[in-house]
Structure 1
Amino acid sequence: MNTKFKQFFKNKWIRWAVVLIAAVLIFLIGLYISIYLGVFGKLPTQSDISSIQQEQATQLLDKNEKLIGKYYIYDRQPVKFEDFPNHLINALVATEDSRFYEHDGIDNISLIRVFVKNLILQDKSAGGGSTITLQLAKNLYGRKNYALFSMLINKFKESIVAKRIEEVYSKKEILTLYLNTVPFSDNTYGIESASRKFFNKSVRDISINEAATLVGTLKANTYYNPRVHIERSKNRRNVVLNQMVNYNYLSEDSLSYYVNQDIELEYRSFNHDVGLAPYFRAEVKKQLEFILDTLKTPQGEKYNLYKDGLIVHTTLDYKMQELAENAMEEHIGELQTAFENSYGNDGPWETNEKLIENVLNKLPQVIAYKAQGLSKNQIKDSLNVSRPIALFSWKGDTVKNVSTIDSLKHYLKFLNTGMLSVEPTTGAVRTYVGGIDYRYFKFDHISQSERQVGSTFKPLVYTAAIENGLEPCTYFSLNKVTYTDYDDWTPRNSGSDEEDPYINYTLENALSNSINTISVKVMESVGIPKVLEQVKKLGITKVLPNEPSLALGVAEISLKDLTGAYVSYLNDSRSVKPYYITKIEDKAGNIIATFEPEISEEAAFSDYTRQVLLEIMKSTVNKGTASRLRSTYGLSNEIAGKTGTTQNNKDGWYVGLTPNLVTITWVGNDNHSIGFKSTGMGQGANSALPIFAKFYQKLNRDSEFNSFTKAKFENPSQKVLDDLDCEPTKRDGFLKRLFKKKNKKKTFN
């Protein structure tokens, strides 16, 4: 026997083969030991593994704890094992690691297959021989590039880490960690985030087909992305279903049923620029960054908005927000077409060269060119170079080859909007529409913008007047007055100049019909200082113009501040500060901050004044400038309100008050030089009011909102009813008409 053995080794090729195998084994053992000892980088210990901390997205929830959006670097949203349906676990194990419950982290049979086929036979189709635990090790700690044997070194490192993971965690815990960390398509990490992104539902609710689709993407999440490659994804899903049959997780009879089903996506991006309420999410993010600067973790460190998995509870109503956005899109899309058609080929965004040049000069690109010393012609040539640019359109976005100048002209023409709805007793924001499309128009028209408020300021003037003793049935003449101490300023009413100067209106009739001449006279009767004082009590603290035109709304006020002021007519005469966040929790559910409504401690005016103004604003809806809510849109809700239009039709406003909700809408062009072509189109009743109207039509169709749509205003006191009980107009007598000047000149008292 020994002789035969010696003769066998006399063959030099056999000797070399044995030496080679021995050398390879010694090399592999040496390499493994060196990796184990940390020569190629420190390996995580069992202690490190037992305290795994993964970066987690901060979740933003609505008032009913429905997910609105997330803040993240990696879109990851962990859940518990109990949330995973059995068919998801079965699909995963059958496809990725059929012997998962039998091995200790390393599937030796698979590794031998990989070693022989991949490393020796160079068969790249042999697979990686990876287990779920090995994949988890890779997901948790990543891989590094080494000059030589990079794959082998990483595999050895992962095998050591996988063994340690199996020693620390149970199989259920390993599956939980894996499904919470594994990358899916579209830069999504974790099964919960993937389920919500691709099917708009929690993982606990996904079907067998949906689970198989998501598991199928793990082989190559870009190649099998169901959003981009639906047929590939379907074929891969069917492979997963077949694997489930092979390992007895699914019956053969069920297979034909499932493989013939289409993949039905309900894709919902949590990209910061798209999805529901992007302007709200951006505003909350600003507030959170400030708030988190004031908070510390139990370890004394600052919270990280993008990594710490915080849970932010907000005041927003998800479903109501959807209706608000739909109402805005329906109206502004139609209004934009009418707006452009009214100008034809003479739109200022095309013909007003000075306007275009002024806007161009403010572009960072142009400022940079000037800093480089480029001439005016050189800059113009650069701006005229065409390139593919995505352009917003209400009919659908397009990509066109256009120049910077062409792109600027395109965006100059768009009307924009702001819409805010708050509950009056708290200021809790229920809807927040900061603009028409956050992708292209980042400017927030609720919190960042200040625009002239037009006739929506008039109720504040009338409030000051009544609070200071003016009787509701006081009559004021329509007659124009020229104020000589203000450059002969003559307030005029919109519409015909042929008004009867001998007709006198009550306060109710004047305000509900938004009579400019009378609003100035009312301010004159009470005095500008008292109006300014009254406005300040309503929470509007900015410095306003100290001049008679203030009565017509020349003041620029943010939509948010105006909303907070109008709330007082439904909130015991107290203004509020609209607020967005109710509480913040850490990822374990511990409350780290809470927030309460900010309500003015003192009433801004008497209850009598409040009831009078509310009755007058009801008249605005029932028979005044907002009457199309009844006639055109058929709303029978209890509504009070006020329309507003500014000079040259630059801004359209509507303030809508219902018993349990205050909603203000604004419409206009971001460039103050561009207004509506006509008052008929630009007046608040036409430009802004329809958003409110369509919003309430949608609310009325959903019984979930009955507490808003069927609510009733309080009954006014008998004194208020008596004091408003007078003829709406009164004509001057003969003698007064005889001596009355049609256009009186005077100084403003």
Structure 2
Amino acid sequence: MAKTTTKDKQEHQGFEKYVRWFWMLFLGGILSFTLLFLLASWSVFGEMPDHTVLENPKTNLATEIISSDGKTIGKFYFDDNRTPVKYDELPKNLVEALVATEDARYYEHSGIDGRGTLRAILKPGSGGASTISQQLAKNLFHGEGSRNIVMRVLQKAKEWIIAIRLERQYTKEEIIAMYLNIVDFNNNADGIRSASNIYFDKEPQDLSVKESAMIVGMLKNPSLYNPRPNRNPVGVKNRRNVVLSQMEKYGYISEATKDSLQKTELDLKYSPQSHRDGTATYFREYLRAFMKDWANDKANRKPDGTKYNINSDGLKVFVTIDSRMQKYAEEAVGRHMPRLQAEFFNQNTPERNPTAPFLDLTKEEEKDLMTKAMRRGERWRILKNQGKSNKEIEASFQVPTKMTVFKWENGKASEVDTIMKPIDSMRYYKSFLRTGMMSMDPQTGHVKAWVGGMNYRHFQFDMVKQGKRQVGSTFKPFVYATAIDQLHMSPCDKLPLSQITIEANKYGNPEPWSPSNDGGDYGGDKTLKDALANSVNTVTARLMDKVGPQPVADLARRLGVTSEIPEVPSIALGTPDISVYEMVGAYSAFANQGVYTKPVMIERIEDKNGTVLFQFTPETRDVLSAESAYVTVKLMEGVVQSGSGSRLRGKWRGNQTVYKEIITGYPYELNNPIAGKTGTTQNQSDGWFMGMVPNLVTGVWVGAEDRAAHFKSITYGQGAAMALPIWGMYMKSCYEDESLEVSKGNFEKPKDLSIEVDCDKYQADNPDGDNDTPTDDIPDGLEL
């Protein structure tokens, strides 16, 4: 046996020393690693989520506004435009794209991918080791990693522990849904639902393979791979193609499919979501105010006694607005108003009208109007709060400033950057005609469409509920309905056209009142139906004299008009200022057999778990007998059959092409029963049309911000030219969409009708009178 030398012993002892150090370092590393995890789990390095928090992770959820046909038409939120979806609402291709790109062994690990982590340690830069569960943990509980290496290690330890706990708490499917719901995709696209809505204008379950690949590709760097138009199209497409390659690599798609899809364009349908853009913007702002009041009501508190936050508690507000009808209403406004505005600009050039856009104002009156407008504006308020004097503020309105202003361009709403004096921009905006429109089911009270203006970003005053304007002849049906209800008059009864004077003080009016007829027609007589169809003022005045102004005003109030109505005879011609909202509600009672139903905008409110917090209760009251309501409707049918609304029936013929284009837009050819009334106020400042079919009542107003801005002549300044075309376009679109089931039938006739509404039969029974043939107020050169 060989003898061990001293040298051999020394070498052996040295080797044992290395082995001991190796095991000490190895075991020390394991112990340190274990201790690191234990300390992190004991919250030594910062608070860790407990079981309760993991079960209900706190995220800000936007309040969702859901239309009657199940579409999301808007949201309320501060920073997070997030509406969660469930796993079964995600398309299979989206889940596959996510797993293939972010965590190929997702279904094999329990929160930490050992192979991926080891690869990342041994080969830095070879790819991230974070699993989907770890990324969810980071997004939910500690956000972006620190640049400090020590802090980053501690954060990573917390991330691993939370990921493991999440895997124990939730299924793999739930984790994927939570992850996609929490991710920020930029441009207010918080979570997968907002992302699919904003970038492709569709719900997540409708995403195609290439669309899913693009969205998953954004996860690497949402800012760099942002598909917003003209941002980084090449980079986004390249990143999408990487995701498609990963899907092919792991067998989710074929190589042929990958090659085919990689050649396609992104095909974005970018639809930004903000409080000032999108559909039903004016309605949404009305709803925001309602929700604030609702949340402030102590009767509507959470179980713990705190207030609901309409921007972050994930409420669901189910509204009566129908997204299809809202779309048709906005399209009708968008088609008519540019044409009408173009003609208004054509008639109000500085050469033709030195005070454009105002008419009938002296220089002093014009200056006073602009000064008042300055002092009501936001600019004045801000500068006043800064301590500026009135003189300094007024001077600032004369300094040219960079601004973005609204304009109609090629028949569409657009914006243009310019330099303009603030005082000139005020005058510029005052030259624009505005509009308000509301559509409602008269039986249920459900408001189906609400258009408060042309563009909420630039015209924020809501002309449906906030704005009140003189209603003109659209008030006359209230006078006729009162006469029918009190005096049992028939549409076929005749009254003389001769002038009438109501003496001073008879009804409290200080001066004698003697209205005139347009065109000076005072000979003979007319039936009530013909008189209303042609807005004969003297006939309406005679009816007012028969019933008195107080019963008429009382009827309007019972019909839901809350605006002030002076009890004087002149209200017969529509002098009161009333909102579109009130007028539509009032007219709906005529279509609903005399029963007034208060307009309803909100069906119910639910919390994020589906618990109903608010349910609307209908408010109805009997106002007129079914007979009086029906007879009034038959009167208003005459407006469309032979009066100023008859242009809804057919095509225009004649050579005045410009007028034809502005008035009709296109032939409506609505031949079903329609009851309605046009309205035109003094100097053509306000144009109205109220139109009804049995299950839909719609009102439209058009006019400028100031009554001093208006058309010079009745040709364009009447309700039949300003407002009726919007109604006609809207209704034509509604009828073309058969899924809406808008009625084309007759208004329901009461069984015990005792008033004759058929004037042929009435005349046969009363042979002493004959009915005049009414004529429409059509400008020279045009005929139906």
Give the TM-score taking structure 2 as reference length. Answer: 0.85
Shift in CA distance, 718/359, structure 1 to aligned 2, threshold 3 Å: same
Alignment of 1:391-540 (within 5 A): 391-395=405-409, 396-469=414-487, 471-472=489-490, 473-479=493-499, 481=501, 483=503, 491-493=514-516, 495-497=518-520, 499=521, 501-540=522-561
Residue 222 of structure 1, CA deviation: 2.0
Separation in 2, partners of 1:494, 1:22: 105
Contact kept in structure 2, 1:241 and 1:255, CA below 8 Å: yes
Separation in 2, partners of 1:296, 1:336: 48
Separation in 2, partners of 1:214, 1:404: 43
Separation in 2, partners of 1:316, 1:490: 43
Shift in CA distance, 376/312, structure 1 to aligned 2, threshold 3 Å: closer
Establish whether residue 236 from structure 1 lines up as the match of residue 239 from structure 2: yes
Aligned letter for 2:139?
N
Separation in 1, partners of 2:342, 2:226: 37
Which residue matches 2:216?
215
Shift in CA distance, 177/453, structure 1 to aligned 2, threshold 3 Å: same
Separation in 1, partners of 2:212, 2:383: 53
Contact kept in structure 2, 1:181 and 1:190, CA below 8 Å: yes
Cα-to-partner distance string for 1:211-251 (whole Å, 9 max, x where unaligned)? 11110111111221222333322211100000111222222
Alignment of 1:67-78 (within 5 A): 67-73=72-78, 74-78=80-84
Shift in CA distance, 145/173, structure 1 to aligned 2, threshold 3 Å: closer
Establish whether residue 3 from structure 1 lines up as the match of residue 10 from structure 2: yes
Deviates more, 1:613-622 or 1:509-518: 509-518
SS in structure 2 at match of 1:188? coil
Alignment of 1:164-179 (within 5 A): 164-179=165-180
Aligned letter for 1:180?
N
Alignment of 1:139-218 (within 5 A): 139-143=139-143, 148=148, 149-218=150-219
Which residue matches 1:558?
579
Aligned letter for 2:642?
K
Establish whether residue 137 from structure 1 lines up as the match of residue 120 from structure 2: no
Establish whether residue 80 from structure 1 lines up as the match of residue 86 from structure 2: yes
Give the alignment partner of residue 638 of structure 1, picking from 673, 679, 690. Answer: 673
Aligned letter for 2:281?
P
Separation in 2, partners of 1:584, 1:651: 37
Separation in 1, partners of 2:756, 2:303: 57
Which residue matches 2:780?
none
Contact kept in structure 1, 2:502 and 2:545, CA below 8 Å: no
Deviates more, 1:396-405 or 1:457-466: 396-405
Cα-to-partner distance string for 1:30-59 (whole Å, 9 max, x where unaligned)? 765543432332111234213334332222
Deviates more, 1:95-104 or 1:265-274: 265-274
Deviates more, 1:586-595 or 1:420-429: 586-595
Shift in CA distance, 27/674, structure 1 to aligned 2, threshold 3 Å: farther
Cα-to-partner distance string for 1:701-744 (whole Å, 9 max, x where unaligned)? 23223x324222234746323675453359xxxxxxxxxxxxxx
Which residue matches 1:743?
none
Aligned letter for 1:173?
E
Give the alignment partner of residue 567 of structure 1, picking from 565, 579, 588. Answer: 588
Give the alignment partner of residue 334 of structure 1, picking from 331, 334, 339. Answer: 339
Give the alignment partner of residue 588 of structure 1, picking from 609, 626, 637. Answer: 609
Which residue matches 2:370?
356
SS in structure 1 at match of 2:376? coil
Which residue matches 2:640?
621
SS in structure 2 at match of 1:219? coil
Aligned letter for 2:450?
Y
Contact kept in structure 2, 1:503 and 1:729, CA below 8 Å: no
SS in structure 2 at match of 1:431? strand
Which residue matches 2:59?
54
Residue 23 of structure 1, CA deviation: 10
Shift in CA distance, 359/144, structure 1 to aligned 2, threshold 3 Å: same
Which residue matches 2:250?
247
Residue 577 of structure 1, CA deviation: 1.0
Contact kept in structure 2, 1:453 and 1:653, CA below 8 Å: yes
Which residue matches 2:757?
721
RMSD: 3.1
Separation in 2, partners of 1:5, 1:81: 62
SS in structure 1 at match of 2:691? strand
Contact kept in structure 2, 1:197 and 1:269, CA below 8 Å: yes
Aligned letter for 1:135?
Q
Aligned letter for 1:452?
Q
Residue 605 of structure 1, CA deviation: 2.2
Separation in 1, partners of 2:407, 2:550: 47
Separation in 2, partners of 1:545, 1:234: 66
Contact kept in structure 2, 1:195 and 1:202, CA below 8 Å: yes
Give the number of equivalent residue pairs.
717
Separation in 2, partners of 1:227, 1:387: 29
SS in structure 2 at match of 1:312? strand
SS in structure 1 at match of 2:567? coil
Aligned letter for 1:139?
N
Separation in 2, partners of 1:397, 1:646: 32
Contact kept in structure 1, 2:500 and 2:542, CA below 8 Å: no
Separation in 1, partners of 2:552, 2:223: 63
Contact kept in structure 2, 1:311 and 1:586, CA below 8 Å: yes
Aligned letter for 2:100?
A
Q: Which segments of 5 or more consecutive residues in structure 1 lack a partner in the other structure?
A: 119-124, 731-749
Establish whether residue 712 from structure 1 lines up as the match of residue 746 from structure 2: yes
Separation in 2, partners of 1:452, 1:2: 113
Contact kept in structure 2, 1:97 and 1:132, CA below 8 Å: yes
Which residue matches 2:114?
108
Which residue matches 1:735?
none
Which residue matches 1:746?
none
Separation in 1, partners of 2:171, 2:62: 25
Contact kept in structure 1, 2:436 and 2:464, CA below 8 Å: yes
Give the percent of matched residue pairs that are identical in Structure 1 and Structure 2.
37
Contact kept in structure 2, 1:478 and 1:505, CA below 8 Å: no
Aligned letter for 2:87?
F
Which residue matches 2:97?
91
SS in structure 2 at match of 1:401? strand
Contact kept in structure 2, 1:561 and 1:577, CA below 8 Å: no
Contact kept in structure 1, 2:40 and 2:154, CA below 8 Å: yes
Shift in CA distance, 440/21, structure 1 to aligned 2, threshold 3 Å: farther
Shift in CA distance, 374/86, structure 1 to aligned 2, threshold 3 Å: closer
Which residue matches 1:389?
403
SS in structure 2 at match of 1:421? strand
Deviates more, 1:209-218 or 1:408-417: 408-417
Aligned letter for 2:176?
L
Contact kept in structure 2, 1:454 and 1:644, CA below 8 Å: yes
Separation in 1, partners of 2:336, 2:246: 51
Residue 693 of structure 1, CA deviation: 0.8
Aligned letter for 2:672?
N
Which residue matches 2:291?
288
Which residue matches 2:778?
none
